Amino acid sequence: MESRELNRYFSLNQLAGKGGTVILGGTEDRNIPLCELKQAFELEDDLYNRSVTGVSVEQAVEVYDACVAPLSPDTVLLHIGEADLPLFEKNAAAFDDAYRRLIAHIRSFNKKCRVVVIALRNPAKAPLVAEMNKHLKYLAESERCDFGDISGRVVWNPVETKEVFSFVNTIGLTGALRNNRPIYDLIKILFCCEPALAS
């Protein structure tokens, strides 16, 4: 975890509004092209990316306090676990306990905050990652969080989706869709589109 990333997010938070949705992820999430995706899909949600290089589930508490809590998010998308694979392999129970503490910590700031646990990508079907994803799903269920399964890394074509969205726009339904976009659609847009995966 790099302190310059935390310092950058601290500075950005001075400009940001409160509420919205925050991505709290690791290395591969730092370069999600939020601005371009917001424009392409006409997302009106306030979206912030506070992902940090190599962040572990234990370190995520510090990152949350420094970079996420000041935003008072309505929703937190947790994509944590990649850096914890060695710990998980040795002691899955310790990983599970740390993840539960992280969720409880987030809720101690805002009991109404929607916490979404997101699976690790696993296109190669690595057994260790598959097992961690089972634990993440169980943790989401036991802690009453939503679960976003992107483990198959199904690459979704944003051009086709934009065409469908454009059609929906022409028949006048976009207002309802923009303001009530299901969280699973948002996860698909942020974590599964080709530009995001290319980073």
pLDDT in tens, 111-128: 999 999 999 999 899 999
DSSP 31: T
DSSP 193: B
Give the chain's residues under pLDDT 50: 167-169, 171-180, 195-199
8 Å CB contact between 130 and 151: yes
Domains of the chain, residue spans: 3-198
End-to-end CA distance of the chain: 19
**pLDDT in the model for residue 157:** 58
**pLDDT in the model for residue 194:** 58
8 Å CB contact between 120 and 135: no
Reduced to 3 states, what is the DSSP secondary structure of residue 154? coil
**pLDDT in the model for residue 153:** 56
Beta bridge partners of 78: 24, 117
Closest CA to 84 of 97, 74, 73: 97
8 Å CB contact between 181 and 44: no
**pLDDT in the model for residue 92:** 97
In 74-143, where do the E strands start and end? 75-79, 114-118
**pLDDT in the model for residue 44:** 82
CATH class of the domain whose range is 3-198: alpha beta
CA distance 168 to 158: 15
8 Å CB contact between 129 and 95: no
